[in-house]
C-alpha cells in the first residue's frame, strides 16, 4: 500500500468518525471508563473504541475506489466483519429504545456471513449509513418531535406564564423512551436557561432515596423494618415511653410514628442527625403509632440516623454509596457545596403577580427528609431504576425486583382518603392506573416525581417557584390522561404527598352530616386548628401559637369525614377528619398533618 493510499484511507476514516460525532453529538455520550447515565437526556453510551471501529467498512470501500488493486479477500472480510460487530454492539446498547436498528444490523450480519464479500460490502455500507442517519433522527425525534410530549411541554410553558413560575424542568419516560425539556430560567436576577442538567433541590422526593437506601440495607441483613428504632439508635426517645420502646423502622418510612413531624434541628455537619435525635425527647405524641396517618419529616430524619448507625458513615456518604454511585447519578448531591458547582435553579416566591428571588437559599439540614438535589437527567435515571428489575443502567444488580415491588405495596390506607401509603412512596389509583409518587416543597421549589411501573411510565416536574404546584397539578394530570388514559373518579379523595394539590372534583353531599361531632379545637405543638359551625355552615381556621390567625376556610363535606375548602386561597384543597377506635372524630388533617382534639378547650 502506497503512502498516498494510506493518506486517502486515513482521511476517509477520520472524516467518517467526525461525521458520526457531528450527527449524534446532542444525544451520544462518549468515553471509555464506565456506562454513563442521562447524556443529553437519553443515557446512551458508546465506548470510544466502538465509535472508531464503526466507520472501517465504509473507509475500506473508499480506499478501494482509489486503488488499482483490490485488497485480498481475507483482509476485506476482516475489515467488514469488525465493522459489523462494532455496529451490532452499538445496536445492542440501543435495543431498549430502537429495536428496529438492532434488527437492521442483524440482517447485515446475516448477509455478510452467507453472501459473497462484494455483496456483503454493499449491505454493510448501507446498514451503516442507515444507522448513522437513523440513530440521530430517531433519538432526536424522541426528544423533540413526540406530539404528546410537545403538547405537554407547551401546556407547561403556558401554565408557567399563568402562575408566574420562572423555570421548570419536565421529563417523561414512556416505554423506555426518555424525553426532557428545560423551560424558563434558573434565576430571575441572573437568568440562565434551565437545561436537562440544571440541579434542583428535590425536597421531600428525597424521602424515596432514604427508603431506597434502607431497603438496600434490609437486603444486606443490616436492618429489619419491623424492628424497633432503638435496636439501631439506642438513644432514640420521644415523650411517650411506650412509643419510644415500640415504634419501628416501618413506622418511620410510612409517616405513622404519630409524633409531631414538622420539626427540624440546626445544621451540625456530620453530627446533624445525631444532634436532632437528642432534641426530640419531649416531642408531642399527636396520635398512637398507626392510628392517624400524618406527614412526618421528623420520622425520616430519624430514619437517616438509623442509616448512619448501621453503616458507620455520615448520611451524606451513606446515600452516595447506597444510591447515587450505584445508579450513576453524577449530578446528585446533599449539601450546598455540592449544588454551588452546578447550574442551580434558585427558589422564588410569586405573590400578587410579582416573582422575587428567595434570599438566602437554605437547603434542608436533613438529607433523608428533604436534602437531596439533582438534575432532571439523574432524576429520570433514578425513576427508570424504580421502573425496572433492580439492576442499574450498567447491568449491575443493585436491589431485587421484590424489594422494589415491596416499596410500592400498600402498607396502609391514609384514613378518610382514597390514597394509600407504601414504603417511601405515596400510592394512588386512577381508574386502572396505579401510581407511586412523591412531591416536594422547599424554599420556593415545588417538585414531583411519579412512576407507573405497570405501564413503564414516569413523569417528573421540577419548578423554582412557590406557585409551581399549580403548574405541576395541571401538567401531571394532563400527561397521565394523554399517555395512559388515566382519569379521576367523581369525588375521589386524594391525599397529601409532599406538595399542595386541589381535589380533581368535589361535589358536595346533597345532605350534609351533623356538624356537631366535628366542632372543637384540635392541637399541635405549634398551632391549633379551630372548627366551628354557624348554622349549616362549617369553618376551619389555623391559629399559630404566635402571630395572627389564618383566615377562616369555609368547608363542605363531599364524602364521609372528607371536606373541601369552598372559597379563598385554599379553595379546592382537602381537609379530612380521622376517627379513633371509639368512632369519635378525634383528629383533623390539614395539608397532610393531623392535629388532635383538645380535651380541655372549646372553640
Q: Where are the domains positioned within the chain?
A: 3-144, 150-484, 516-597
Mean pLDDT by 10 residues, the chain (603 residues): 63 62 47 35 42 52 50 54 51 42 45 44 46 38 69 97 97 95 96 95 98 98 98 96 96 97 92 96 95 97 98 97 97 93 95 93 94 97 97 94 98 98 98 96 97 97 97 98 96 97 96 96 95 96 93 97 96 97 97 91 45
Cα gap 2→442, rounded to integer Å = 68
User: Grid coordinates in use for 140?
Assistant: 432526536
For 208, phi and psi rounded to 5 degrees?
-70, -30
Q: How far is CA 398 from the centre of its chain?
A: 18
Given this model, what pLDDT does residue 145 score? 65
> Same topology for domains 150-484 and 516-597, yes or no?
no
Query: Residue 391 CB: number of other CB atoms within 10 A?
Result: 15
Query: Residue 535 CB: number of other CB atoms within 10 A?
Result: 6
Nearest to 242, CA basis, from 183, 291, 181: 291
Q: How many CA atoms lie within 13 A of 321 on its CB side?
A: 12
Provide Rg for the chain, Cα atoms: 28
Q: Are 574 and 495 in contact (CB under 8 A)?
A: yes
Given this model, what pLDDT does residue 74 score? 52
Q: What residues contact 573, with CB distance under 8 A and at least 6 apart?
A: 500, 501, 502, 503, 564, 565, 591
Cα gap 556→553, rounded to integer Å = 10
Query: Residue 187 CB: number of other CB atoms within 10 A?
Result: 18
Given this model, what pLDDT does residue 603 score? 43
Q: Which helix (H) or strand (E) holds 571?
A: none
In the three-class reduction of DSSP (H, G, I as helix; E, B as strand; rest coil), residue 485 is classed as: coil
What does the CA dihedral 383, 387, 392, 396 come to, rounded to 10 degrees? Answer: 160
Per CATH, the architecture of 150-484 is what? 3-Layer(aba) Sandwich (3.40)
In the three-class reduction of DSSP (H, G, I as helix; E, B as strand; rest coil), residue 139 is classed as: helix
Which whole-number Å values give the CA distances from 362 to 359, 445, 449, 588, in the listed order? 8, 11, 22, 30
Q: Are 378 and 37 in contact (CB under 8 A)?
A: yes
Return the CATH fold of 516-597: Lipocalin (2.40.128)
Which whole-number Å values give the CA distances from 418 to 14, 560, 576, 590, in the listed order? 61, 11, 11, 16
Cα gap 547→402, rounded to integer Å = 49
Q: How far is CA 519 from the centre of its chain?
A: 39
Cα gap 316→210, rounded to integer Å = 11
Q: Is the peptide bond before 42 cis (omega within 30 degrees of 0)?
A: no
Q: What residues contact 547, with CB distance under 8 A and at least 6 apart?
A: none
Going through 132-290 in order, the beta strands assigned E by DSSP cover 167-174, 177-184, 199-201
Amino acid at each position: 500500500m502506497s503512502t498516498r493510499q494510506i493518506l486517502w484511507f486515513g482521511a476517509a476514516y477520520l472524516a467518517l468518525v467526525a461525521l458520526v460525532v457531528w450527527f449524534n453529538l446532542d444525544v451520544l455520550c462518549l468515553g471509555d471508563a464506565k456506562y454513563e447515565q442521562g447524556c443529553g437526556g437519553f443515557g446512551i453510551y458508546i465506548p470510544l473504541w466502538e465509535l472508531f471501529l464503526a466507520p472501517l467498512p465504509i473507509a475500506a470501500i473508499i480506499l478501494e475506489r482509489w486503488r488499482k488493486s483490490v485488497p485480498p479477500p481475507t483482509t476485506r472480510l476482516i475489515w467488514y466483519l469488525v465493522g459489523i460487530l462494532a455496529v451490532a454492539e452499538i445496536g445492542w446498547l440501543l435495543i431498549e429504545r430502537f429495536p428496529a436498528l438492532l434488527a437492521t444490523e442483524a440482517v447485515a450480519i446475516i448477509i455478510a456471513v452467507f453472501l459473497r464479500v462484494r455483496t456483503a460490502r454493499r449491505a454493510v455500507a448501507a446498514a451503516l449509513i442507515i444507522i448513522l442517519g437513523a440513530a440521530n433522527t430517531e433519538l432526536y425525534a424522541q426528544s423533540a418531535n413526540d406530539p404528546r410530549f410537545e403538547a405537554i411541554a407547551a401546556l407547561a410553558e403556558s401554565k408557567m406564564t399563568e402562575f408566574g413560575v420562572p423555570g421548570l424542568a419536565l421529563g417523561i419516560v414512556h416505554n423506555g423512551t426518555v424525553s426532557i425539556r428545560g423551560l424558563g430560567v434558573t434565576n430571575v436576577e441572573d437568568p440562565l436557561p434551565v437545561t436537562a442538567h440544571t440541579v434542583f433541590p428535590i425536597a421531600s422526593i428525597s424521602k424515596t432515596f432514604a427508603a431506597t437506601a434502607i431497603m438496600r440495607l434490609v437486603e444486606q441483613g443490616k436492618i429489619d423494618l419491623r424492628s424497633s428504632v432503638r435496636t439501631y439508635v439506642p438513644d432514640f426517645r420521644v415523650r411517650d415511653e411506650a412509643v419510644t420502646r415500640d415504634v419501628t423502622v416501618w413506622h418511620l418510612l410510612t409517616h405513622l410514628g404519630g409524633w409531631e413531624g414538622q420539626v427540624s434541628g440546626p445544621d451540625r455537619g456530620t453530627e446533624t442527625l445525631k444532634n436532632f435525635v437528642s432534641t426530640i425527647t419531649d416531642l408531642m405524641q399527636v396520635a398512637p403509632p398507626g392510628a392517624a396517618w400524618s406527614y412526618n419529616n421528623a420520622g425520616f430524619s430519624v430514619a437517616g440516623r438509623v442509616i448512619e448507625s448501621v453503616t458507620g458513615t455520615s448520611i451524606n456518604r451513606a446515600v452516595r454509596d447506597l444510591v447515587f454511585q450505584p445508579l450513576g447519578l453524577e449530578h446528585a448531591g446533599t449539601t450546598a457545596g455540592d449544588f454551588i458547582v452546578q447550574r442551580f435553579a434558585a427558589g422564588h416566591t410569586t405573590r400578587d403577580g410579582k416573582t422575587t428571588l428567595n434570599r438566602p437559599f437554605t437547603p434542608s439540614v436533613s438529607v433523608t427528609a428533604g436534602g437531596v438535589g439533582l438534575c432532571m437527567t439523574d432524576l429520570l435515571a433514578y425513576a427508570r431504576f424504580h421502573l425496572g428489575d433492580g439492576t442499574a443502567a450498567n447491568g449491575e444488580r443493585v436491589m431485587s425486583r421484590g424489594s422494589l415491588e415491596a416499596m410500592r405495596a400498600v402498607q396502609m390506607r391514609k384514613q378518610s382518603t382514597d390514597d394509600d401509603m407504601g414504603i417511601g412512596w405515596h400510592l394512588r389509583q386512577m381508574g386502572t392506573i396505579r401510581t407511586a409518587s412523591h412531591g416536594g416543597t422547599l424554599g420556593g421549589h415545588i417538585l414531583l416525581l411519579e412512576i407507573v411501573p405497570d405501564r413503564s411510565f414516569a413523569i417528573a416536574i421540577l419548578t423554582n417557584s412557590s406557585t409551581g404546584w399549580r403548574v405541576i397539578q395541571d401538567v401531571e394530570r394532563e400527561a397521565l390522561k394523554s399517555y395512559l388514559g388515566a382519569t379521576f373518579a367523581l369525588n375521589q379523595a386524594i391525599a397529601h404527598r409532599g406538595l399542595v394539590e386541589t381535589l380533581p372534583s368535589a361535589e358536595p353531599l346533597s345532605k350534609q352530616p351533623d356538624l356537631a361531632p366535628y366542632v372543637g379545637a384540635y392541637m399541635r405543638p405549634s398551632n391549633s386548628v379551630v372548627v366551628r359551625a354557624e348554622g349549616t355552615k362549617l369553618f376551619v381556621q389555623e391559629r399559630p401559637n404566635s402571630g395572627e390567625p389564618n383566615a377562616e376556610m369555609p368547608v363542605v363535606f363531599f364524602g364521609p369525614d372528607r371536606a373541601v375548602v369552598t372559597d379563598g386561597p385554599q379553595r379546592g384543597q382537602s381537609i379530612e377528619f380521622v376517627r379513633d377506635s371509639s368512632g369519635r372524630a378525634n383528629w383533623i388533617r390539614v395539608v397532610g398533618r393531623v392535629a388532635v382534639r383538645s380535651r380541655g378547650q372549646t372553640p
